[in-house]
Amino acid sequence: MRALDWIVLIASLVSIIAYGLYRSRGSNTVDRYLLAGRSMPWYAMALSIMATQASAITFISTTGQSYVDGMRFVQFYFGLPIAMVIICATAVPIFHRAKVYTAYEYLEKRFDGKTRALASLIFLAQRGVAAGLTIYAPAIVLSVILGWPERITTLIMGMTVVSYTVLGGIKAVTWSDVQQMGVIFVGLVVSLVTAIVLLPASVSLPDAVFLAGAAGRLNAVTTHFSWNDPFNMWSGLIGGTFLFLSYFGCDQSQVQRYLTGRSISASRLGLLFNAVAKIPMQFFILFIGAMVFVFYIFVQPPLLFEKAQLARIESSGGYQQVRSEFDRGMAERRRAAMGLVAAHHSGDAVAEGREMAAYRAAQRDVDDAHSRAEKLVETSGGGKGFKDTNYIFLTFVTRYLPVGLVGLVIAVIFAATMSASSGEINSLATVTVVDLYRRHIRPHASDHHYVTASRLATLFWGAYAVIFAGWGKKLGSLIVAVNVVGSLFYGTLLGCFVLAFGFRRVGGTATFVGMLAGEAAIFSAFFFTGISWLWYNVIGCAVVMGVALAITYLTGGFSPPPAEVVRAE
């Protein structure tokens, strides 16, 4: 990056952090530090919820996912609007009226202490890992730009996020998210415009869309059903609905956002805004990846987008042959693409069919050469399952965006990381203090003591995320990895809350046993079957409910909820 890029990057990040800390003044009580005094307007909650999801993983990995696999990933979000409507009708009013700090605090009101503790531990396990993956993403950025070691970048990002999260609490996090989303939207538009402008003069935007579609990169909807495919309409509508019900209804990083709302209506508006805006936003991000794919039809891409691994295999046996096949495939794909566009313009169906076949054959050759290069990385000691998906978008940004705009897009990636990881770390600290420390260790301490404990818990989870981030490089596509991690636990949490909200006869012990059975079922599916991870959410929820209801029926159990819970519902 040049001097102007650094100025844009640093100015953007400093202004975001300073604004968040300025708006967080007065966060000196537990209620204000953890829930912003339940005073946030709907639009701030809406943008904060969106920003928490839109981590650097979204921009780095989702665009790369589209580049290599097309836009099928958008189907993952098809269940989101359904889930949001259900949560607005159920979880939002119940949590607000119960006056809880965390979703799991409600479980003790409804069930018992052991169920609350188990749900809290499940949340801490999955969200702590996810926070590490979120912080790892910008390490990839500076490793590409500056060649810095990823552990140094991870430490810098972790210290930055923890500093303003510790000082300002949820209010600093939320108001910083508002600014960050503004920067994110600008950066996305800049990236798309740049990819389109840099296309050859003879290739228009409709031509680019046509070429992306011809190569299978606009496959936004796949109706074919498969248990093993996470990206089709059915897994998105069914598995996705269960995943997002779990994420927004049971994950404290999201529940805490709408618990800060000044009213039930404000919280509902924030969630419904996301129900409307999230799919178009993801479609837009995936479309950017598709346009970057078209750009690299006419501009020679590297054989591998990760420089270090490319350098590793250059001296290995078989590299020159793979390199030659890749170059030949690229040249033929470029020629066929221009011929296909010309035939499409002329309306010559015969020529278009001929060029289409040549174009797709060349694409298969390019993909095959690229896959063989990734295998060379594995055989030369670069790690099993290596994929360079996470480096595609960053390579495009750093090489081809104008000076100044590179800094802006890098600021987008850092802003997205800060918004997502700060929210995750804050929610981890909240659950640690409210559900474990205050409940089981120091139940009668002062308000000031719990604020201090919350700050220390924030420091701990920030350090934990930085330490775990080093495992991110072993997990392939980060956008998939972070959702796989969540799906290993979300179904169990969802089953627990469905029982809490809708089955008054089920007691705490039956639910507790059901949750253990649910986790066992999910991990069995993970280790011993090829079922797609989206279905883990369905499996976990079904097993938790089935086991708990069976125990309740067999024992004749009846555990009416306390009167205050009935009133809250």
349-377 vs 205-214: helix crossing angle, rounded to 10: 70
Query: What does the pLDDT read at residue 383?
Result: 67
Q: Would you say residue 521 lies in a domain? A: no
Alpha-carbon dihedral 262, 277, 132, 150, rounded to 10 degrees: -130
Same domain, residue pair 259 and 289: yes
100 contacts 354 by C-beta, under 8 angstroms? no
Q: Would you say residue 23 lies in a domain? A: yes
* CATH number of residue 73's parent domain: 1.20.1730.10
Same domain, residue pair 63 and 42: yes
Q: Could you give the number of structural domains in the chain?
A: 2
Pairwise CA distance, residues 73 & 283, whole Å: 9
Q: Report which of 502, 514, 500 is spatially closest to residue 554, judged by C-alpha positions.
A: 514
103-110 vs 91-98: helix crossing angle, rounded to 10: 80
Q: Would you say residue 364 lies in a domain? A: yes
Write the single-letter amino acid at 460.
Answer: F
Q: Give average pLDDT by consecutive 10-residue segment, the chain, 569 residues.
A: 81 73 63 70 79 65 86 88 93 90 91 94 87 73 67 76 67 68 77 91 93 90 81 87 90 84 89 88 90 94 87 86 94 95 92 94 94 88 75 85 79 69 82 91 88 88 80 60 84 94 91 96 93 91 96 76 52
Report how far apart, in Å, the C-alpha atoms of 233 and of each of 61, 367, 429, 490 are: 21, 25, 36, 20
Other CB atoms within 10 A of residue 289 CB? 29
- Phi and psi of 40, rounded to 5°? -80, 140
Q: Would you say residue 198 lies in a domain? A: yes
Angle at CA of residue 201, ends 200 and 202, nearest 5°: 90
Same domain, residue pair 377 and 424: no
For tokens 């701030």, the residue is 44
Same domain, residue pair 248 and 362: no
For tokens 């503004």, the residue is 182
Pairwise CA distance, residues 386 & 217, whole Å: 22
Same domain, residue pair 255 and 291: yes
Query: What does the pLDDT read at residue 379?
Result: 84
Alpha-carbon dihedral 452, 170, 567, 540, rounded to 10 degrees: -100
Structure token digits, residue 505? 């006869």
Q: Report which of 195, 229, 226, 228 is spatially closest to residue 212, judged by C-alpha positions.
A: 195
Give me the count of residues in the chain: 569
Specify the pTM: 0.79
Q: Would you say residue 516 lies in a domain? A: no
Same domain, residue pair 325 and 348: yes
Same domain, residue pair 330 and 231: no
Structure token digits, residue 263? 């009213």
30 contacts 451 by C-beta, under 8 angstroms? yes
112 contacts 508 by C-beta, under 8 angstroms? yes
432-466 burial, b for 16+ CB within 10 Å, e for fewer? bbbbbbbbeeeeeeeeeebbebbbebbbbbbebbb
Same domain, residue pair 411 and 369: no
Pairwise CA distance, residues 396 & 522, whole Å: 38
Structure token digits, residue 317? 């046996």
Q: Would you say residue 99 lies in a domain? A: yes
Query: What does the pLDDT read at residue 515?
Result: 96
Alpha-carbon dihedral 113, 118, 119, 124, rounded to 10 degrees: 120
Q: Would you say residue 480 lies in a domain? A: no
Query: What does the pLDDT read at residue 114?
Result: 94
Structure token digits, residue 547? 């086991």
**556, HSE (Cβ side, Cα atoms, 13 Å):** 0
Same domain, residue pair 346 and 241: no
Q: Which domain holds residue 262?
A: 3-296+397-440+451-467
Tell me which of 358, 385, 412 is where a domain ends.
385
144 contacts 395 by C-beta, under 8 angstroms? yes
Burial of 201 (0-12, 13-18, 19+ CB in 10 A): exposed
513 contacts 547 by C-beta, under 8 angstroms? yes
83 contacts 248 by C-beta, under 8 angstroms? yes
Q: Would you say residue 538 lies in a domain? A: no
Write the single-letter amino acid at 462.
Answer: G
Q: Which residues contact 535 (CB under 8 A, 6 or more apart)?
A: 227, 235, 239, 525
Pairwise CA distance, residues 68 & 418, whole Å: 27
What residues are paired with 40 via a beta bridge? 261
Same domain, residue pair 56 and 148: yes
252-259 vs 103-110: helix crossing angle, rounded to 10: 90
Same domain, residue pair 102 and 245: yes
Query: What does the pLDDT read at residue 38?
Result: 72
Same domain, residue pair 250 and 375: no
Tell me the three state secondary structure of residue 553: helix
